[in-house]
Structure 1
Amino acid sequence: MKELLFDNAFFGIFISLIAFKIGKDIFNKFKWPILNPIFVALILIFIFMEVFNIPTSYYSKGGDILGFFIAPATVCLAIPLYKELGTLKKHYKVILIGALIGSITAILSVVLLGKLLGIQDIILLSFVPKSITTPIGIEVSKLLGGIPAITVFAIMVTGIAGNIFAPFMLKLFRIENAVAKGLGIGISSHAVGTSKAIEMGEVEGAMSALSIVIAGIITIFIAPLLLNLLK
């Protein structure tokens, strides 16, 4: 009976959409950053599968289909970027420098903290691409010799954390410039964080979308170099 109900692609898609809808409704009602719809959906799906003892392979049949659309959805972020093309041309030097420094910082912070805590190298390598979008992060993880599944988890946690805490951090450090806001969010928390940047304004959303692409490209090139230097 369990196989009949859950061992199909429809189950993974259906429970993901329902969980996200519930998460969205909860967030709209309370407006608490910690109740991010993706985070709530993740918890709901986890609880449901644990209670009914459903194998992850059942969920993956539908979840992988939804995951396929991550890359096209990321490409769609080019729309707000195109609208703010003038801003991009005006601040391109700051954007490139900020993306480079942010990407290097993201990698070094993971490596140094991981070494300090004594984390195994293969796990550490899986965490290195945590701040870039999932399609690129998976390939970087494979390139470095990490475990893509752990990388996806790290990327997801990073994105949700950025979405939740970005407004607080911007207020804490009194960052008012729209370009700086977008760059900071996009570089540190990729597409999930960008959804929060888009809520802040068109400039923030466009800069965040741009930084996703730049940070991904930079990470592909500098991650192996930095790791070799640290070794």
Structure 2
Amino acid sequence: MIYLYSLLTIAAFFTALQISKRLKSVILNTFVLTVIILIAVLLLCHIPYDQYMQGNAPLNNLLGLSVVALALPLYEQLRQISQRWKIILFITTVASVLSMVSGAILAWLLGANAEIVATVLPKSVTTPIAMAIADNIGGIPSVAAVGVVVAGLQGSMFGYLVLKKLKLIHSQAIGLSVGSVSHALGTVSCMDIDPKAGGYSSISLVLCGIISSILAPLVFKIIYLIV
């Protein structure tokens, strides 16, 4: 009976999808609307968050499979990657390092200890990878997941708009930028507005996930030694 909460999540997503099609808003995209609907239902029905998460386990368990699924957009964009692989690899590597360093340094400046710094460091990659990175370098995986959601929400709501305001006109640049800092959520937002930007965003989120997994322990050690 408790797993009916998974159906609640699916119903909330379907409702949000219909609303999003009518609104056609970058800020109030499908994911944001789903979160708003779920929060409203949990508050109105006085459902404890822990109970909801337990009942949502069937969907939560799919997070691990999503890592494998990320290989699909990478494969679909293989021709474009092969043509521009040097610049794409350079951009995603720099973006990965800057994303990790910026979050970790900000956490340290605000008085965070080493555990919290390690938790915040992988905020810009997709949830399963971020949780694995945080666990590997001494962070708290569950809190890292929250950081990922916050970063993703910010990117999906404001990333595309901010880059357009900065007069960035090339879809490739927009996609690589959004995917590097707001992972799948930003990618979905890009797909809705500019499919080409969404394609490059999917490339970026996959490569940044791989690069961050490799470099995170080294980046954390360097930051820990410096601070």
TM range (shorter): 0.7 to 0.9
Distance (Å, rounded) in 1 between the aligned partners of 2:167 and 2:201 = 18
Change in Cα spacing, 1:41 to 1:146, as seen in structure 2 (3 Å) is same
Give TM-score, length-normalised by structure 1: 0.86
Kindly report which structure 2 residues correspond to 1:193-208, keeping only aligned pairs within 5 A, or say none.
193-208=186-201
The residue number in structure 1 matching 2:162 is 169
Alignment pair present for 1:66 and 2:59: yes
Decide whether the 8 Å contact of 1:19 with 1:41 is kept in 2. yes
Change in Cα spacing, 1:20 to 1:159, as seen in structure 2 (3 Å) is same
Alignment pair present for 1:86 and 2:82: no
How much does 1:50 deviate?
3.0
Which range is displaced more, 73-82 or 22-31?
73-82
The residue number in structure 1 matching 2:102 is 109
Kindly report which structure 2 residues correspond to 1:41-190, keeping only aligned pairs within 5 A, or say none.
41-73=34-66, 75-190=68-183
Distance (Å, rounded) in 2 between the aligned partners of 1:117 and 1:214 = 30
For 1:144-170, what per-residue CA distance to the aligned partner results, in whole angstroms no more than 9, with x for missing partners?
211111111111111121111122122
The residue number in structure 2 matching 1:9 is 3
The residue number in structure 2 matching 1:3 is none
How much does 1:119 deviate?
2.8
Give TM-score, length-normalised by structure 2: 0.88
SS at match of 1:210: helix
Q: Indicate which of 187, 208, 216 corresponds to 1:215.
A: 208
Distance (Å, rounded) in 1 between the aligned partners of 2:138 and 2:212 = 15
Change in Cα spacing, 1:200 to 1:56, as seen in structure 2 (3 Å) is closer
Distance (Å, rounded) in 1 between the aligned partners of 2:68 and 2:19 = 28
Change in Cα spacing, 1:200 to 1:47, as seen in structure 2 (3 Å) is closer
How much does 1:77 deviate?
4.7
Q: Which amino acid aligns with 1:150?
A: V
Q: Which amino acid aligns with 1:218?
A: I
Instruction: Spell out structure 1 runs of 4+ moving beyond 6 A.
Output: none
The residue number in structure 1 matching 2:15 is 22
Distance (Å, rounded) in 2 between the aligned partners of 1:24 and 1:216 = 27
Q: Which amino acid aligns with 2:117?
A: L
Aligned length: 224
Distance (Å, rounded) in 2 between the aligned partners of 1:95 and 1:136 = 20
For 1:175-222, what per-residue CA distance to the aligned partner results, in whole angstroms no more than 9, with x for missing partners?
222322221111111111111232344442332222222111211222
Instruction: Say what the alpha-carbon RMSD is for the aligned residues.
Output: 2.1
Decide whether the 8 Å contact of 2:26 with 2:189 is kept in 1. no
Q: Which amino acid aligns with 2:51?
A: Y
Distance (Å, rounded) in 1 between the aligned partners of 2:75 and 2:137 = 33
Decide whether the 8 Å contact of 1:175 with 1:181 is kept in 2. yes
For 1:51-93, what per-residue CA distance to the aligned partner results, in whole angstroms no more than 9, with x for missing partners?
3332333212332211222344454454444343321111100
Which range is displaced more, 65-74 or 154-163?
65-74
Decide whether the 8 Å contact of 1:111 with 1:124 is kept in 2. yes
Q: State the percentage of identical aligned residues.
A: 29
